[in-house]
Amino acid sequence: MKKKALYLLKENIFCYLDYGQSKYQFEYFRIAIALFSLFNFGAFLYDYEVFVSPDGIINWEVTQASSFWFDPHPARLANWLNMSHETFNFFAISLYVGSLVLLALGIFTRVSSLLAFFFFLVFSLSLYPFLYGVDLYQSVFLLFLTIFPSGYALSLAPKKSDDKILNQQKIAVRGIQIYLALTYFSAGFGKFNMDSWFNGEFLYLSLSDPTYQLLPFTYNVHYGFYVFSGVLVVFIEMFYFILVLIPYVRTVLIIAIVGMHLFIALFMGLVPFGVLLLMVNLVIWYPLILTDLKKIFKIYKRYELAI
């Protein structure tokens, strides 16, 4: 007992590092984040004229004026390199997309993750009036990919990953697991302080907000639906960090979280946000979910044999 307490004290958030982790989980995470980043930036590029062009709906002069002198704003970098804004934009887009493709393929992952993170920062300075929570998450996930080793086994040019590398990757996965739990807690805590999340008002009004909804939620449902959904969202966000540790309950939790993010993507129009959180939840917790599902399947088989 004393030994266990000492171990928990010494290892703190890194105790039982193997629990709920699979061998190449951080590499799956790398692939998921690289693919998501391509999708997210691809959506910006699809509306290039509005968002990414130097003469877009918010031109570079405006965003540069509100940046610090040391920020790597694209206009500042273009002037520094003595390039036209359009030429620099073309090179920056090519390098950002190229680095993300390399990152997804697991080639030169340290360099490609650094480049991807740098160009993400560059573009986020010119696109910042359009950014919201999803970009914050993406930035942190890319930061984790620059710090930790991520390209070994699941790569077009595979290298041998030893126990040391695998341990470092496990630290990264544990970090992301805690990060998710913290951010959900923070979001849930914020909602907990708002009465409108408990009487269904906030959910009802945000679903009927015409300015950003993707699919209109026009169903004239009972008000209890909004009350129940609001309370459920606050509950699962606030207690995510506990629920995710309880066998079987965590499977239900992840299904609920996936449902919530699908709902956000479809009816609140926050498609990249919904897609990223859905992907990350699945990649970060899949070993635990698979363990649960295998056990459920075994119990079902035993029950079937018995009858």
Partner 1 sequence: MNLRYRMFVIVFFAFQVLTIFKLLPSRWPLTSYYSEVFTQVIFTVSKMNHLYNFFTDPQKVGGYGYVSNHIYMLKKEGDSIIKKDVSSQGSIKKMVSPVNYARINNLQVLAVKDTLLYSAVVRSQALFFMRKYQYPLMYVEVMNHECKANRTQTRLTKSEKVEKVYTNYLTLN
Residue 20 touching partner 1 (CB under 8 A) = no
The residues in 142-201 that bind partner 1, with binding defined as CB under 8 A, are 143, 147-148, 164, 167-168, 171-172, 174-175, 178-179, 182-183, 185-187, 189-191, 193-197, 199-201
| Residue 38: C-alpha distances to residues 45, 52, 93, 146, 161 (Å) | 10, 14, 11, 17, 26
- 307 token code pair: 């009858």
- Using the rule CB under 8 A, which residue among 3, 4, 157, 211 binds partner 1? 211
Task: Please state the closest distance from residue 305 (CB atom) to partner 1, in A.
Answer: 46
Find the part of the chain contacting partner 1 (CB under 8 A) among 77-85, 107-115, 210-218, 298-306. 210-218
Q: Please answer whether residues 294 and 183 qualify as being in contact, where contact means their C-beta atoms are separated by less than 8 angstroms.
A: no
- Using the rule CB under 8 A, which residue among 2, 160, 224, 304 binds partner 1? 224
Residue 82 touching partner 1 (CB under 8 A) = no
Is 216 or 247 the residue whose CB approaches partner 1 more closely?
216
Closest to 108 in 3D by CA, of 34, 193, 182, 49: 34
The residues in 274-303 that bind partner 1, with binding defined as CB under 8 A, are none
Is 48 or 300 the residue whose CB approaches partner 1 more closely?
48
- Of the chain, the end-to-end C-alpha distance in Å amounts to 43
Q: Please answer whether residues 282 and 176 qualify as being in contact, where contact means their C-beta atoms are separated by less than 8 angstroms.
A: no
The residues in 104-123 that bind partner 1, with binding defined as CB under 8 A, are 121
Find the part of the chain contacting partner 1 (CB under 8 A) among 78-86, 88-96, 139-147, 292-300. 139-147
Closest to 115 in 3D by CA, of 136, 128, 98: 98
Backbone angles phi, psi at 161, to 5 degrees: -105, 120
Residue 35 touching partner 1 (CB under 8 A) = no
**Helix, strand, coil abundance in the chain, percent, nearest 5:** 70, 0, 30
Residue 268 touching partner 1 (CB under 8 A) = yes
- Distance (Å, whole) CA 46 – CA 294: 42
Find the part of the chain contacting partner 1 (CB under 8 A) among 65-73, 105-113, 246-254, 287-295. 65-73
Task: Please state the closest distance from residue 224 (CB atom) to partner 1, in A.
Answer: 8
SS3 147: helix
Task: Please state the closest distance from residue 193 (CB atom) to partner 1, in A.
Answer: 6
Is 59 or 291 the residue whose CB approaches partner 1 more closely?
59
Residue 262 touching partner 1 (CB under 8 A) = no
DSSP string, 46-80: HTTTTTTSTTSSS-HHHHHHTS-TTS--HHHHHHH
Residue 50 touching partner 1 (CB under 8 A) = yes
- Distance (Å, whole) CA 148 – CA 230: 37
